[in-house]
Amino acid sequence: MSYVMSDFDDFNNPQVAALPRHLRQYIVPQQYSRYTAVDQAVWRYVMRQNYSYLKDFAYYPYIPGLRKAGLTIERIPDLQEMNNALGRIGWGAVTVDGFIPPVAFMEYQAYKVLVIAADIRQLHHIEYTPAPDIIHESAGHAPIIAEPDYHAYLSYFGQIGAKAMFSAQDFELYEAIRRLSILKEMPDANGDAIIAAEEQVAWCQANMGQPSEMALLSRLHWWSVEYGLIGTLENPKIYGAGLLSSIGESATCMKPEIKKLWYNIDTINYTYDITREQPQLFVTPSFQNLIDVLDEYANTMSFRVGGIYGLEKAVNSMNVCTAVYSSGLQVSGVFTGFTAGNNDQPLFIKTTGPTALAVDNTQLDGHGKNYHKDGFSSPVGKITGYDKPLENFTAEELQTAGLILHHTTVLKFEAGIVVQGRVENILSQNSQIQLITFTQCTVTNAKGQLLFDPSWGNYDMAVGEKIVSVFCGTADKDAFENVTYKSTIETYHAAYDDATLNLQSVYQEVRNIRGNQSGYDALTGLWQQLQTKFTDDWLCSLEILELLHQENMNQELQKSISGFLANKAAKQLALSKLIQDGLALIAHPIEQD
């Protein structure tokens, strides 16, 4: 399978330009012209409310943070402007279609690129949406990126997450969550379909089995990057993007009934539900503590532990994984078996199906998945009679061991495995031997059972005393062309009817009046259109009232609009807080830093 590489725009940003091909497959154009005037009004309302509240409760100065990320309160950000700003602090940004798999999301962080959902929440989800959107990603994540300790943590998390073991159950849960988030953002979604999707998410969560490394890392990510608090239990500040981008939960999270717990390694035991407000939140005293906790967990992960522990994780995952020999040789494929030794290290490893060999994450010439299409197997450990690992042999020691080009030799491993054949090539890099190729080769185990027959072709024997690391995915992802899982479910994009287009036109005229600071007399006619054709709408009425109040004009019209909004807030409880908060900002306009 080939990657789609056409029309890739790096925004003249070094971090975006450095993205490998397997990550570029998720990028979609922002298509800024697709944002309607209603979308712009939703952005502006949320951002004004955010600043009004978060200036007192966010960890960092909100407006300066927005500016450093290329954002403003007044309009949805343009990706080029964001990249211009983020590039100054060593980051970049790209737009994607909704949720992407956690492993890909983490790897973007490792490359210091923010992943931003191109879509924006609809008006009826203005307080919170379970789907990722441009408000959550840009207004939540981006403003704090300029904080050096935080962006160091974010990048470090990505590096570790990119190596985490994941399972088939992880993919099932991801797909179920993506489907539910898309359904909930659809204005005409079938209620039964939503219930069925919620039940599927619940079923997946209840049937995960033993949580994978990725599942546990996702919990640490959720309780820090998305829903984290910093400071003290008694007086925490918000830094998590999920809270920063939710005008509802950013306020309710500070209530005493929401438990505040210290962020430590025990946090990994707390699951989460993306569709509901969180019953507890975790407070870190510093960003360095986040790194310390992450390191504590990472020390238990297979990419650091290696050996039998890591290979068991690889076999159980049934995904393409990479085992790293102590020589630096990286074997990437689906691991289907290994022979265990007595010292937490395997004696022999085996993959089935396409396998590739690499060093320093670069595929070795002639050792791609097409060459090793049926799998790969090799001993692990020292050869008998030598204290020194084979990978560290000098040229003289190789000759003493009988490893001479174009000569037949017999290697006996301490584990009892015997390799007998003609030496055709000895490959070494970084002053270590990684691979010895034999022809006419026979390999047997300690019981005399045949592991490789000369009729099967050349035998490429990996060299290394130990398996020092095992991680999910391939060493050289682009050469292997192992396409990271990508959902086939696309996000919903509405087709607007004439009535909706007319309402968008009213919003646009109000927006033009604000931007031009002229044409205020037209507000009376626009309000009348709302009253005759769009009585369900409330946000445009707020925007008209704001302009009238700001210009201190047409008191009678202000009174009529205020009465209309007060009546709607009283009759529609779901809108009550939104309207009251909007009126409060009209009476007490925000002053930007």
Annotated binding site for Fe cation: 136, 141, 226
Cα 295 from Cα 308, distance rounded (Å): 21
Q: Which of 129, 128, 126, 142 is nearest to 44 (CA)?
A: 126
In sequence order, which residues have a C-beta less than 8 Å from that of residue 105 and are 6 or more positions away?
115, 161
Residues 354, 371: contact at Cβ < 8 Å?
A: no
Per the CB < 8 A criterion, the answer to whether 326 and 311 are in contact is no
- Coil, strand or helix: which one is 468? strand
Contacts 24+ apart (CB under 8 A), 359-366: 359/328, 359/329, 359/330, 359/429, 359/430, 359/434, 360/328, 360/429, 360/430, 361/330, 361/475, 361/476, 362/475, 362/476, 362/479, 363/475, 363/476, 363/479, 363/480, 364/427, 364/434, 364/435
The residue behind tokens 């290979």 is 311
Cα 471 to Cα 314: distance, rounded to the nearest angstrom: 7
Please give the Cα distance from 375 to 332 (Å, whole number).
Answer: 10
Contact predicate 48/73, CB 8 Å: yes
**Two structure tokens written together for 185:** 């953002």
What would the two tokens of residue 58 be? Answer: 């966010």
Which whole-number Å values give the CA distances from 353 to 222, 334, 480, 546, in the listed order? 35, 7, 13, 65
The angle subtended at Cα 218 by Cα 215 and Cα 223, nearest 5°, is: 135
What is the C-alpha separation between 500 and 503, in angstroms, rounded? 5
Cβ distance 85 to 65 under 8 Å? Answer: no
Token reading at 343: 């010292």
Q: Say how far apart CA 128 and CA 140 lie, in whole Å.
A: 12
Binding residues: 136, 141, 226
DSSP assignment string, 348-405? EEEEEEEEEEEETTEEPTT-STTTBTTEEEEE-SPBTT-SS-GGG--HHHHHHTT--T
Pairing of the two strands 362-363 and 346-359: antiparallel
* Residues 143 and 69 sit within 8 Å (Cβ to Cβ): yes
8 A C-beta contact, residue 523 and residue 553: no
CA-CA distance, 87 to 78, in Å (whole number)?
14
Rounded-to-integer distance, Cα 510 and Cα 505, Å: 9
Tokens (6 digits) for 32: 């800024």
Residues in contact with 574: Cβ distance below 8 Å, sequence separation at least 6, in sequence order: none
475: three-class secondary structure by DSSP = coil
Q: What does R_g of the chain's alpha carbons equal in angstroms?
A: 29
Please give the backbone phi and psi of residue 362, each rounded to the nearest 5 degrees, phi first. -120, 125
H or E element in which residue 530 lies? helix 523-533
